[in-house]
Amino acid sequence: MMFKKYVKGNSDYNNYQELKDNFSIAIPENFNFAYDVVDEYARTEPNRTALVWCDDNGGERVFSFQDLKTASNKTANFLLSKGIKKGDAVMLILRRRYEFWYFLLALHKIGAIAVPATNLLLKSDIEYRTNAAAIKMIVSLEDKDLQRQIDLALPNSPTVKTLVTTGHRDGWVSFADEYPNQSDNFTRPQGDGATANEDIMLLYFTSGTSGYPKMVQHNFTYPLGHIVTARYWQKVVDGGLHLTLAETGWAKAVWGKIYGQWLAGSAVFAYDMVTFVPGRLLEKMERYKVTTFCAPPTVYRYLVRQDFTKYDLSSLVHCTTAGEALNGEIYNKFLEKTGIKMKEGYGQTELTLTIGNFDGMEPKPGSMGKPAPGYIIDIVDSEGSSCKPEEVGEIVIRLDKGRPFGMFAGYYKDEQRTQEAFMGGLYHTGDMAYQDEDGYFWFVGRIDDMIKSAGFRISPFEVESTLMQHPAVLECAVTGVADDARNQVVKATIVVAPGYEESQQLSQELQEFAKTESALYKAPRIIEFVKELPKTISGKIRHVAIRNQDKRK
């Protein structure tokens, strides 16, 4: 397993505390994942499986590390032929196409900046990103709707010089046509052309629930931080097959589709689905014998409704979840169906795994777990003082003993936001939580989403979790509405599950249900039924949009 050469001392631990106290990474000078991991595997174990890819149209490809070394070399030569050089920003909109791995590794080899993006972007989204990051090239999968949006954005995207498609489109460069003619020899640049640890390797636009997305920059040491993510949280299997469901436009993809998994010896499974169909996903997991799996709680919520007796998932040994807080009911149903205790984790685009459930810890359904190795976590109040157990405050990372490995290098071209995030020698996550007497952390919500009613601080997530236990609730968002007597009252905006109808009777039933399942002061006083909830491109509910809409009423 490649990761052992980058770990100081022992890499096997018997319990969480031993891991937390002793784990550390040895960061070499001028580390470059493409050369030092992928090409090294190609040298020592050329036939080791790296990537297993399939789609819903019968497509299937299996790539060894030698295959990916060759592919990334040819792609690097293609990029050079189009004028891409060290420091240039290239946007990759490739969903889960296998070409994503070609281009990402090739950009690492050149020292150019990879800017992954989702295929859900529209004209205005593309314009903002291309100008904010000075994008020089856009690489897109063959998707007429997406590529039309890119074409519409091009007149207002002056830095973009080249459009590349994996297929064919008038006015675009066809990677499919030019790739076969590229040389498979690519020599690692030296001198000024070489990459340094501090160089920008990745740039992500965060999917904030308000305002324009921030640009998160990661340098070339970032992949090493995901040793913890893959080895000690996802528990990937050496020689196994890991599936993280995320589309490659999101940071969660590099949490689970390349860096940590390959460092820990696991191959990556990429299922390029266009539409999420729970039963079909389980069929793929059965057919390809997926050993470890990671997805957001929303996905598990749909999976647990399936009849698991129809699928042979005996190869599956470990499952994790992140991206949003986990509802305890989903945890229990999944455990009942699979016998697997799902391990929740927490992090941000700016970070690697920050809090998680590790070996030797008994998961508490709904808890994020305990701090990951390298992270010194605290919960602080509005004055910056550490909170007592059970007291809600902001999750911060203390930096007085150094920055955690894998932590972002700041917000790109935004010194003010960077300084605000690191105010007082802390990194401020903007997320609220509390720590229980056993040291487990429990997510409460974003700072801006907290409800203050009649002297109580109410977590939207807690109320949402309660309501989600009712079979009539498919989706739900809880917000605060201004009230003269109470400052705010709790409102629940609900999408009704199939088989139920919106009615005053159902509204009253849900209010009574909330009163019996949680503290009385948390129960919603207002319930509104809607057909869909406002969400970010990444699918996060935009509570701020609901609050703003209520203000206009």
Q: How many Cα atoms sit within 13 Å of 98 on the Cβ side?
A: 19
CA torsion angle for 327, 532, 501, 474 (degrees, to 10)?
A: -20
Q: What is the pLDDT of residue 445?
A: 81
Nearest to 128 by CA among 212, 64, 22: 212
Contacts of 56 (CB under 8 A, 6+ apart): 272, 273, 274, 280
CB atoms near residue 476 (< 10 Å):
23
* Structure tokens given for 236: 């990937």
User: How far is residue 110's CA from residue 406's CA, in Å, rounded to a whole number?
Assistant: 21
CA-angle at 316, arms to 311 and 320, nearest 5°: 115
Q: What is the pLDDT of residue 301?
A: 85
Q: How many Cα atoms sit within 13 Å of 13 on the Cβ side?
A: 25
CA-angle at 214, arms to 294 and 127, nearest 5°: 105
Nearest to 137 by CA among 109, 163, 110: 163
User: How far is residue 173's CA from residue 165's CA, in Å, rounded to a whole number?
Assistant: 6
Nearest to 432 by CA among 420, 449, 448, 444: 444
Could you tell me whether strands 370-371 and 377-380 are parallel, antiparallel, or unpaired per DSSP bridges? unpaired
Query: At 152, which helix (H) or strand (E)?
Result: helix 144-153
User: How far is residue 540's CA from residue 257's CA, in Å, rounded to a whole number?
Assistant: 21
Which residues in the chain come in under a pLDDT of 50? 209
Please provide residue 251's backbone torsions phi and psi, each rounded to the nearest 5 degrees: -60, -30
User: How far is residue 434's CA from residue 444's CA, in Å, rounded to a whole number?
Assistant: 7
Nearest to 229 by CA among 439, 374, 394: 374
Q: What is the pLDDT of residue 244?
A: 98
Any idea how long the chain is? 553
Q: Is 362 helix (H, G, I), strand (E, B) or coil?
A: coil
Nearest to 38 by CA among 116, 102, 123, 124: 102
Q: What is the pLDDT of residue 326?
A: 79
Q: Alpha helices, DSSP H only, in 318-472?
A: 328-338, 415-421, 460-467
Q: Is 291 helix (H, G, I), strand (E, B) or coil?
A: coil
Could you tell me whether strands 426-435 and 441-446 are parallel, antiparallel, or unpaired per DSSP bridges? antiparallel
Please provide residue 519's backbone torsions phi and psi, each rounded to the nearest 5 degrees: -60, 145
User: How far is residue 409's CA from residue 418's CA, in Å, rounded to a whole number?
Assistant: 9
Do 316 and 240 contact (CB within 8 A), yes or no? Answer: no
Q: What is the pLDDT of residue 208?
A: 53
Q: What is the pLDDT of residue 536?
A: 72
Given its phi and psi angles, is residue 305 left (phi above 0), alpha (psi -120 to 50 degrees) or beta? alpha
User: How far is residue 325's CA from residue 444's CA, in Å, rounded to a whole number?
Assistant: 8
